[in-house]
Amino acid sequence: MSGDQGTQESLQEDGFVDSVFRSLTERTMEEPAPIERMTSRIQQYYDSLLNNADWNVANLEVRPGHPTFVVWFVLSSYFPLICGCLGPLSNLLSVAAVICNWKEDKATGKPAGADESWCYTVNTISMVCGVAANICLLLNYRRKMNYHYAQIVSIAGWFVASIMLMLLVAIYHVEFLRHEHYVRYSYSYGFWFAVFTVLLHFANFVLLSLNILGVLLKKYPPVFNIDGVQNTLILQSMFFVTWVMWGAGMFTALLHVSYGEALYFSITTILTIGLGDFVPQTSGAQTLTLLWCIVGLVAFGLIISTIRELVMFSSASTFYWHHLQMFRSLELKNAPPNLSKQESFNRMKNASRKAMRYERVLSTIAILTTWTAFWLLGSLLFTVYEGWAYHLSCYFAFLCFVTIGYGVPAPTTSGGRSFFCVWAIAAIPVMTILVMNIGDFIFSSLETIQNLSMLRKTNVSHLDDSDPHEAILHHLLDLKKASNIDIFTTKEYLSASSFATELASYNDPSYHHPEHSELAALRKHANIATHESLKPRFRKQNDPLLSKMSQLQQIIIELRKSTLLSNIKPDFKYSFQDWSQFLSLTDLDTGSEFWLSEKSPFGFPNDEPLYFTYHFLHALDRKLHELALQYDQMN
């Protein structure tokens, strides 16, 4: 997961990991005491590493659960990423606004000749300002330019570009009416591309201005709050826009159409909509179209994957964390005094489940609302530009969403096609994310139902869970993962398992012989082990060294289980008894208030088996060092 990678990178940049383990190694050789002193720091490191969303909020002054957290998180993370998509797109439209004519003959539909020189000059200057702003945004993304300098140039560049182009469009419109050009001419692709460029330029100006506002208010440091994968989004967008721009130039020659029409054809082709109003006729044109489309599809797919990763994974974990802290605060506020450990545990588990449901429902509603807005508002503008009935516009827009593209109806006016170029590039990713989001929601719901069904079956079965190896073995066998667990039925494994159980139970006075659990397995596989392998092996009683080894063996048994679950079921949820045993084995046993506190392992998004694995490894390492130091000091 990219969130994990971002966490590791940020921690390594700070030198935290190296300093912790270097300090542990050096000080352990000097005296035993630093082992205990380093434990809390390493546990903090593990918690940070396990937290799926820690990298997202590490730079924010406000923490999840704060009333304004969502606002500052969106400003620090979402707004720069939106600009990374809109910036190159606005540059594409600004270039098209310069290349294409601004008016066309009503009778023939052909360009009405060259535009006025003042229109071309102002249009070009505006385009240059927008390109310069986007280049500085790229350098800011890649951290090749100081944040403040880059932001000033980007914000000023897009503001100047939008104001200049807006004034140009307004003056051109006034002149168009004053000279009564509307009698013979109508607005062509260049004019409408300029209109949409003004909107995108100004949107970039507003988004970056709000982003730097958070820096000025010291809500986050002067850097975009994005990870290594997301920081390539602007490069992906720039490559895609450059590829479309070059394709439009190529299709102008191949299809013998204007640049605006070629750009429209490029968008319908690369989005796999294919309305059929422009079709390559020659074999050479068809071959070049196929080759160009393959590269374009890959580039556009990368952009959608990056946006999906942000919306459905990284940010979902962050918002879940925020809602979890809010529900935790409510549980803590409404909790009666003198809660038992299990009651406190159950309340925190309940808060976790509420936060997960809330996040899933809220994210589905948000993306569904966005998609509906794109559909209905887009249909409204198609009605305005093309003169269709509204229901026909809705039909056309929906067909474009699902990339069917029957070709009837299809936009024919310059305004309708220009708007389609902008709308379709944004609408297709929204539709893709909507489908994936709903699919994940349904899948997670079905998985929850399946888990509950399996839990009921487990409750009615009469399995002996006294031996952890037998319990996990039965669980795996029930899942019918025979190809992965053949080793668990071999003589060597059962022999090692019986010895591990005996050693782990060395300090348990109620444990005498292992026949109860192991013989149950041997009755099913009588040919793979012998009764002699289960005989007690230890003659010494209450031996300090064997007691320590017994503790280590218990940790190893649980470590095997958690490692296995991390691979086959990373979202597995442990019971209160499992967590109590975990805290006891890792010497983290705490009071009842621990579960609802900020240090609770349920207070941030993480996978419980992986959490167990990391902390068991740390406990095993620490206890082994302690055993070595104690043995060295023995007479």
Q: Model confidence over 324-348: pLDDT tens digits?
A: 889 998 988 888 888 888 888 889 9
Q: What's the count of helices (H) and strands (E) in the chain, helices before strands?
A: 22, 2
What's the pLDDT score for residue 634?
72
Q: What is the average per-residue pLDDT within 147-163? A: 96
Taking Cα atoms as reference points, which of 219, 230, 211, 213 lies closest to residue 59? 219
Token pair of 404, please? 């069917």
Quote the pLDDT of residue 194.
96
Residue 618: predicted pLDDT: 85
Average pLDDT of span 268-287: 91
- What pLDDT does residue 363 have? 85
Residue, of 139 and 628, whose pLDDT is higher: 139
108-124 confidence digits (pLDDT tens): 888 887 888 999 999 99
User: Comparing 54-58, 321-325, 358-362, 510-514, which segment has the lowest mean pLDDT?
Assistant: 510-514
Cα separation of 345 and 592, whole Å? 8
Kindly state the DSSP code that residue 464 receives in the 8-state scheme. -
pLDDT of residue 518: 46
CB 38 within 8 A of CB 24: yes
pLDDT, tens only, 73-110: 999 988 999 999 999 999 999 999 999 999 999 888 88
Contact 233, 85 (CB under 8 A): yes
CA distance 140 to 231: 10
Sign of the dihedral through C-alpha 614, 617, 622, 625: negative
| Lowest-pLDDT choice from 189-198, 520-529, 572-581, 616-625 | 520-529
What percent of the chain is predicted at pLDDT more than 90? 39
pLDDT at 420: 96
SS3 296: helix
DSSP one-letter string for 524-588: HSTTS--GGGGS-----SS-HHHHHHHHHHHHHHHHHHHHHHHHH-TT----HHHHHHHHHHTT-
- The answer to which of 358-362, 375-379, 489-493 has the lowest mean pLDDT is 489-493
What is residue 341's predicted lDDT score, i.e. its pLDDT?
Answer: 85
| pLDDT at residue 320 greater than cutoff 70 | yes
Q: How many residues does the chain have?
A: 635
Residue of 258 and 437 predicted with greater confidence:
258
Report how far residue 597's alpha carbon sits from residue 157's, in angstroms, rounded to the nearest whole number: 48
Gap between the Cα atoms of 406 and 448, Å rounded: 40
| Confidence band for 8, pLDDT divided at 50, 70 and 90 | very low
Indicate whether 476 pLDDT > 80: no
Helix (H) or strand (E) run with residue 186 in it: strand 185-187
- The mean-pLDDT minimum among 185-189, 250-254, 302-306 falls in 302-306
Over residues 560-566, mean pLDDT: 85
Per-residue pLDDT tens digits for 576-622 = 888 888 888 888 766 667 788 877 888 877 788 888 988 898 888 88
Q: Are 500 and 553 in contact (CB under 8 A)?
A: yes
Give the chain's radius of gyration (CA, Å).
32
